[in-house]
């Protein structure tokens, strides 16, 4: 390919632009190394020196509206896409004028105004995120293309294969660019990769795969141009493997013996991508010696200006950090529920999605078997017939990647609903939820939004045993950046799902399976939203507060009726939203009743009840006449046997016994 590429004429202005960006990247990285050694850049940074031809040539093909997703070695990609050197240098120095206000650092620099969908410290994460951006482009018919940059190590991760498959079956406008610099932190890629060239893996997914000389800027440009044209024409993705060599160690802080043979290292340095392009420029007389000198001086001034800008910038303040975690929740006024029309829990969820998808064309649903079949619990029934396969999308069984695709689509401006078929499978998605969705806004300094809903059935009660019956809400309330919702009634399910879809934060929406089996209840037909973070007093009382979560709400209400025969007046509170939590309503109730029982289906040890107990002990200790009591499952996985399963999940009889014990009533 190299000889052919070298002989193809390219506009001299294009070559000038590519070379200018390559030089800008080189000078920036040289300055970053010096600043790191001087202690002005702390933590670590990953130099792009030696690989400049790839970023500069790829981004030369793109327009301002096209997306790129980068990784930990992302300075070059951002500079080539047009990022400000001032804001980049300030971010490396951890200053408030940095792209991420000092909250992201070297590995997370990105500019959403340039559609840079994040640089990323997680290996391979660029692929599902850019898959989502490409899906957003396809759904909107915007003509945008996405590029995923990643290293050779990422090609051995499952999300590489899942993303390639997803992009191929959906014909997404996406180009995968593997920058094969041939080493992980210290291990040669040939020791970890079963095939000689990563591009060969494209054949498994029926898409083109090309290996190029990543140090030859012209060759990279021509191959990428063809791939971008193909993607923009609706012909689907391409995998490009650019063979290159990084000049530094894995990171500036590696402090390891460099394992690369000296002869190999020196041979690659002789093929300096800047020198190779300079030779072409000289031979074709595109620049004069004076032009080179002027360009060097100009970029040197840019770098010095950026360094001065960073040095003179202020440190970020504590309040900036706190305000960057969540987007403000959108206002909603809860309507009165005075209708006689009744819906089941699943029908209420279905109606929420149906009405909100009609209301907002950016809302779409994807997940396993959500299409024509309506899913195994029939929550999405009828949506496929109404909206078609573009907005109700059946996915492969690849939870990590279709969830990551949802994150990327949300970042790109859509409002995806991702259904997890059984919520135990959420474990497969945790990187995308915890390290991507929850942290994306924060890492970019509180600027972007991630309007994503991840919903599905959790919990037991239907004899699906240990791997299909867990209640996992405690996992998610521990993660800053996630909103967690757990409605207990059809009315709440509809209104809270609408609010979740409209919210600009990633929302974990938990639907306890036992509630799918409940009786229909009144639900207004009109589209309405219930505000997030507002608890509901399901029953007022004077003697004891029961705080019940999700499926434990109807059981607590049943228990309250029984307890009234013993002269015990029970107040039942449903938090509805676990984060943000309505602490005021809980504390006010405890101050009135002086007793608190917390009931949830999850295991008591480490369960969410422990958090509520701690809050009450801190804020209302003096009002308690007895210790806070928690009632949940024992510390055991969910059994299959029906009698044992019933013994694990708190029943209304057990709630009655716990209250009588707490109130010292026989």
Active site (catalytic) residues: 399, 468
Distance, CA of 482 to CA of 485 (rounded, Å): 10
Residues 6+ apart with CB under 8 A from 516: 344, 345, 346, 377, 457
Distance, CA of 126 to CA of 154 (rounded, Å): 10
CB atoms within 10 A of CB 643: 7
Going from the C-alpha of 626 to that of each of 194, 492, 557, 564, 662, the distances in angstroms are 63, 32, 22, 20, 7
Going from the C-alpha of 62 to that of each of 125, 126, 236, 276, the distances in angstroms are 21, 17, 16, 23
Are 491 and 523 within 8 A, CB to CB?
Answer: yes
Segments in 2-106 forming alpha helices (H): 2-7, 12-37, 52-61, 75-81, 85-92
Distance, CA of 278 to CA of 264 (rounded, Å): 22
Residue-level length of the chain:
666
Burial class (CB in 10 A: 0-12, 13-18, 19+), 615: middle
The residue written with tokens 């046997």 in the block is: 641
Peptide bond into 631 cis (omega under 30): no
Return the structure tokens found at 218.
């012209």
The residue written with tokens 């109700």 in the block is: 392
Residues 6+ apart with CB under 8 A from 20: 295, 299
CB atoms within 10 A of CB 127: 31
Distance, CA of 447 to CA of 452 (rounded, Å): 16
Distance, CA of 355 to CA of 375 (rounded, Å): 18
Are 531 and 513 within 8 A, CB to CB?
Answer: no
Return the structure tokens found at 269.
């340095």
Residues 6+ apart with CB under 8 A from 594: 623, 624, 625, 626
Return the structure tokens found at 161.
């294969």
Going from the C-alpha of 530 to that of each of 493, 509, 661, the distances in angstroms are 9, 14, 36
Return the structure tokens found at 647.
């013994």
What single DSSP character describes residue 188? B
């Amino acid at each position: 390919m190299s000889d052919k590429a070298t002989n193809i004429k390219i506009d001299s202005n294009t070559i000038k632009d590519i070379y200018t960006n390559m030089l800008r990247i080189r000078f920036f990285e040289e300055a970053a190394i010096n600043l790191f050694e001087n202690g002005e850049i702390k933590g670590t940074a990953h130099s792009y020196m030696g690989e400049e031809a790839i970023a500069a040539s790829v981004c030369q093909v793109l327009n301002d509206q096209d997306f790129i997703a980068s990784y930990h070695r992302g300075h070059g990609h951002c500079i080539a896409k047009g990022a400000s050197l001032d804001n980049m240098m300030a971010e490396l120095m951890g200053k408030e004028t940095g792209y991420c206000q000092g909250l992201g650092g070297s590995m997370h620099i990105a500019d959403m105004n340039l559609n840079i969908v994040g640089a990323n410290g997680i290996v391979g994460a660029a692929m599902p995120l850019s898959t989502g951006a490409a899906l957003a482009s396809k759904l909107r018919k915007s003509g945008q293309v996405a590029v995923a940059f990643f290293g050779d190590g990422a090609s051995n991760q499952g999300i590489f294969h899942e993303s390639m498959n997803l992009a191929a079956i959906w014909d997404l406008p996406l180009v995968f660019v593997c920058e094969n610099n041939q080493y992980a932190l210290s291990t040669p890629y040939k020791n970890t990769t079963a095939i000689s060239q990563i591009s060969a893996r494209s054949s498994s997914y029926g898409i083109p795969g090309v290996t190029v000389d990543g140090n030859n800027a012209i060759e990279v440009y021509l191959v990428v141009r063809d791939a971008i044209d193909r993607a923009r024409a609706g012909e689907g993705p391409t995998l490009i493997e650019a063979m290159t060599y990084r000049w530094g160690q894995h990171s500036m802080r590696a402090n390891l013996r460099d394992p690369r043979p000296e002869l190999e290292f020196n041979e690659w340095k002789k093929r300096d991508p800047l020198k190779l392009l300079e030779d072409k420029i000289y031979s074709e007389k595109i620049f004069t010696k004076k032009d080179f000198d002027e360009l060097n001086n100009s970029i040197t001034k840019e770098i010095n200006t950026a360094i001065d800008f960073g040095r003179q910038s202020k440190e970020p303040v504590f309040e900036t950090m706190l305000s960057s975690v969540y987007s403000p929740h959108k206002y909603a006024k809860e309507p009165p529920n005075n209708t006689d029309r009744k819906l089941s829990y699943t029908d209420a969820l279905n109606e929420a999605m149906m009405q909100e998808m009609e209301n907002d064309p950016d809302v779409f649903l994807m997940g396993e078997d959500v299409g024509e079949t309506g899913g195994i619990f029939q929550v999405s029934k009828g949506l496929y017939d109404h909206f078609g396969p573009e907005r109700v999308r059946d996915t492969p069984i690849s939870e990590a990647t279709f969830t990551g695709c949802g994150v990327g689509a949300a970042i790109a401006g859509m409002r995806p609903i991702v259904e997890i078929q059984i919520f135990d499978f959420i474990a497969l998605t945790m990187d995308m939820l915890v390290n991507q969705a929850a942290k994306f806004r924060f890492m970019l300094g509180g600027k972007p939004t991630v309007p994503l809903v991840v919903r599905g059935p959790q919990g037991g009660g239907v004899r699906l045993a240990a791997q299909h019956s867990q209640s996992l809400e405690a996992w998610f309330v521990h993660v800053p950046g996630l909103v967690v919702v757990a409605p207990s009634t059809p009315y709440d399910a509809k209104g809270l799902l609408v609010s979740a879809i409209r919210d600009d934060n990633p929302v974990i929406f938990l639907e306890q399976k036992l509630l799918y089996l409940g009786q229909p209840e009144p639900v207004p037909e009109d589209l309405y939203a219930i505000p997030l973070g507002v608890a509901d007093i399901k029953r007022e009382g004077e003697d004891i507060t029961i705080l019940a979560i999700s499926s434990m709400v109807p059981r607590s209400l049943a228990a309250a009726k029984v307890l009234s025969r013993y002269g015990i007046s029970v107040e039942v509170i449903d938090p509805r939203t676990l984060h943000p939590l309505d602490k005021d309503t809980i504390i006010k109730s405890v101050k009135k009743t002086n007793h608190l029982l917390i009931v949830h289906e999850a295991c008591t040890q480490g369960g969410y009840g422990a958090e509520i107990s701690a809050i009450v002990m801190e804020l209302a200790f003096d009002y308690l006449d007895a210790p806070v009591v928690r009632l949940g499952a024992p510390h055991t996985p969910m059994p299959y046997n029906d009698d044992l399963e019933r013994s694990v999940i708190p029943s209304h009889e057990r709630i009655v016994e716990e209250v009588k014990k707490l109130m010292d009533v026989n």
